[in-house]
Amino acid sequence: MSDHGAKRSSLAASAQAMGRGVQSLWLLAALLVVWEIAARLAGSLFVPPVSQIFVAFVDTWLSGSPSSLFLSDQFRVDVLPSLARLGLGYGAAAAIGISAGILIGVWRPAGAFFNPLIRLGMSVPVTALLPIAIVLFGITSGMNVFLIALGCLWPILINTYDGVRGLDRTVVTAARSMRLTRRRYFLQVLLPGASPAIFVGMRISIGIALVLMVISELYAATAGLGFYIVSQQRLFRFPELWAAIVLLALLGILFNAIFAVVERVLLRWHRNVRPEGAEGH
Amino acid sequence: MISRRIGAAAAVTALLFASACGGGYDAAGSANATTKVSVTTFGCEIWNTWAISKGVYVKHRLDVELVRSGGGSAAVAAVLSGAADFGYVNGYTAINAYNTGFPIQMVSGANVNALPPAKPAQGVFVGKDSPITSPADLAGKKIAVNEINGINQIVTASWLKANGVEPESVSFVALPFAEQIPAVLSGRVDAAQLGYSLLGNNNDGVRSLADPFASSNKVYIATYVAAKSFVAKGDAAKRFHEAMTETAQQLNDPANKDESFRLLSECQKVPAETLAAQPQNAIEAAVDLAALDRMAQQMVDLKMMQKKPDLEPFVTDFARS
């Protein structure tokens, strides 16, 4: 292909990508425009125009100096503690959920033994345990971390269990016939085989972690995004309150994007072996 | 035959019209008609139990329906959305909402703090054996209040400031009233600000450092606000204030004390003797503009508001003392 042809095809690919971007964002843009117009016409103080929320967002979260990556003091005071709680809670849930899921998946008697306990744990809404968590952990970050970890644990554990139990029998039999060591079986057969299901559980748990992070901070907290939201509501500062909600939405999108990248890298082999047309299902 | 049917249909229509639109009710409160109004409540307010059982609201041609609200900001939202006609809010929340630009007006006072020589009704409670003995000891500690940026936090912060303690040095934690004293006793918080009447059976386990409300002069713990459009529409708001004034007069009459506690006891399911033994806040329907002004200044001092708003248009003429 000539240079001229290559340039043309590269331009066409860029235009196509841009078109896809516009296609996926036009609805959001239209919604924001409608919001702006409707809020201005209604003059509601509870639902301010998008432009006002944007100004509040920048003032509240991004008014810091370049040396602090433009992150404001408010960001440091309320968002960083929330993210630390989320990271610890989610990390603990992932570590416990994956380990326990593999254990009960591999060892059938343990699965049968723990099954009722897991069902019970799954059926209790974690938010109902908030008063108990305060008694157990006091008014500390431990309380928030505990609730996030508990809420995220079940989807990870159950999906890991399902992933282990659902391993392709042919592959398992082949691995056995090859007399793989336990370590090699675990690292080269079990873990890769179960990882698509493990990732599903972990991805579901990201949303749960964000929700629980906010809920656990609405009550008995001294800092955090949930605490900030309540505080602004009490002060009737609705643009700032919406700015916090927008930040939460952006954090959710960011975490999902990061997760998608990690998943794409780690599960590349899985995408390659999936049948044609299975993409995105 | 046809004309008789038309006549009967006209009579039925007239009757339906009368029962729907008339029947002694109107929407905004025109002369001589009873107005159905909804009033937000947090539970059992002594003035509501009294006014309803003694027919004070009815005397002022008000058919009051009490509607539960989760807090002051929810009450403001309720009156602005039309879900309620009168919102029960503390004075600070009311001023803050007005300052933000919400089209509301204060139509009545209800509850103010008990000032000396009356026995303090509020306290900053610490464990009986706690090493905390003065406001200065609270620096760096956790204090439980029922809501963040609510009246209890504002008053406690002002009290700390008046005693040389920077409020920023204290962590305020939102806990429901019922959980505050257990949290103090278990050491999960260092102190709690609440009323004596909410101590339950824990009187012996805690002691109060001071009544923070006393250092704030007169504070409107409970007031009623209504949407400006509702106030302008008729005289229902004025009649509501008159009913509150009459209720306050009757409740402040020592001859009615026992009966008022008996009525409150039925609502709260707490023995009347227990209620009577607890120090009470004062009942005051008239709104003292100077007191509200001081409350606004407190919020400015605590950096909760940039500047003090002009409260003249906020308080209706008929509600002023």
Q: Strand B25-26 and strand B34-41: pairing?
A: parallel
The partner residue sitting opposite B150, judged by closest CB among A135, A234, A237, is A234
Query: Where do the domains of chain A lie?
Result: 3-43, 66-273
Residues of chain B with pLDDT under 50: 1-2, 6, 8-25
Q: What are the structure tokens assigned to A6, written together? A: 């290559």
For A12-36, how does the pLDDT look when each residue is reduced to its tens digit (9 = 90+)? 777 776 777 677 788 889 999 999 9
Long-range contacts of range A182-191, CB-CB < 8 Å, 24 or more positions apart?
A190/A102, A190/A106, A190/A164, A191/A102
pLDDT top residue among A222 and B296: B296
Instruction: Tell which of B188, B189, B304 to mutate to test the A interface (max A CBs under 10 Å).
Output: B188
For A110-122, how does the pLDDT look when each residue is reduced to its tens digit (9 = 90+)? 888 888 888 888 8
The partner residue sitting opposite A236, judged by closest CB among B102, B174, B189, is B102
Instruction: State the amino acid at position B217 in one-letter form.
Output: N
| Among B53, B55, B57, residue whose Cα is nearest residue B86 | B57
Does residue B138 come out as left (phi exceeding 0), alpha (psi in the -120 to 50 range) or beta? alpha
For A159-212, how does the pLDDT look when each residue is reduced to its tens digit (9 = 90+)? 999 999 999 888 888 888 888 888 999 998 999 999 999 999 999 999 999 999
> Tokens 């002004």 correspond to what residue?
B293
Return the sign of the alpha-carbon dihedral for residues B54, B60, B63, B64. Answer: negative
| Cβ–Cβ below 8 Å for A222 and B147 | no
Contacts of B171 in chain A (CB under 8 A): 222
Mean pLDDT confidence for A248-255:
95
Contacts of B304 in chain A (CB under 8 A): 235
Taking the CA of residue A234 and the nearest CA in chain B, the distance in Å comes to: 6
Mean pLDDT, chain A, rounded, equals 88
Q: According to the model, what pLDDT value does residue B114 have? A: 85
The predicted complex's ipTM stands at: 0.75
Q: According to the model, what pLDDT value does residue A273 have? A: 58
Q: According to the model, what pLDDT value does residue B22 have? A: 38
Q: According to the model, what pLDDT value does residue A171 have? A: 86
The answer, yes or no, to whether residue A148 has pLDDT greater than 50, is yes
Taking the CA of residue A233 and the nearest CA in chain B, the distance in Å comes to: 7
Domains and CATH numbers, chain B: 25-113+219-319 (3.40.190.10), 122-216 (3.40.190.10)
Q: According to the model, what pLDDT value does residue B31 have? A: 56
CB atoms under 10 Å from CB of B111, counted, come to 24
Q: CA-based diameter of chain A, in Å? A: 73
Burial of B52 (0-12, 13-18, 19+ CB in 10 A): middle
Return the sign of the alpha-carbon dihedral for residues B240, B245, B251, B255. Answer: negative
Whether B74 has its CB under 8 Å from any CB of chain A: the answer is no
The answer, yes or no, to whether residue A218 has pLDDT greater than 70, is yes
User: What CATH topology corresponds to A66-273?
Assistant: MetI-like fold (1.10.3720)
Residue in B closest to A228 by C-alpha: B148
For B162-217, how does the pLDDT look when each residue is reduced to its tens digit (9 = 90+)? 999 999 999 999 888 888 999 999 999 999 999 888 887 777 889 999 999 988 88
For B151-161, how does the pLDDT look when each residue is reduced to its tens digit (9 = 90+)? 999 999 999 99
Q: How far is CA A147 from the centre of its chain?
A: 15
The partner residue sitting opposite B102, judged by closest CB among A45, A221, A222, is A45
Report how many helices (DSSP H) and strands (DSSP E) chain A contains, helices first.
13, 0
Spell out the residues 6+ positions from residue B314 whose beta carbon is closer than 8 angstroms to its own.
B94, B95, B98, B104, B105, B106, B292
Measure the CA angle with vertex B160, ends B158 and B161; round to 5°.
Answer: 65
pLDDT top residue among A137 and A53: A53
Contacts of A222 in chain B (CB under 8 A): 142, 171-173
How far does chain A reach from its first CA to its final CA, in angstroms? 36
The DSSP secondary-structure symbol of A67 reads G
Under an 8 Å CB criterion, which residues of A touch B? 45-46, 131, 134-135, 138-139, 219-222, 227, 230-231, 233-237
The answer, yes or no, to whether residue A93 has pLDDT greater than 50, is yes
How many interchain CB pairs under 8 A, A with B? 55
- The full DSSP string for A7-64 is HHHHHHHHHHHHHHHHHHHHHHHHHHHHHHHHHHHHT-SSS--HHHHHHHHHHHHS-S
Whether B122 has its CB under 8 Å from any CB of chain A: the answer is no
Contacts of B97 in chain A (CB under 8 A): 236
The span from the CA of B148 to the CA of B168, in Å, is 13
Mean pLDDT confidence for A127-149:
90
| Among B218, B150, B160, B151, residue whose Cα is nearest residue B191 | B160
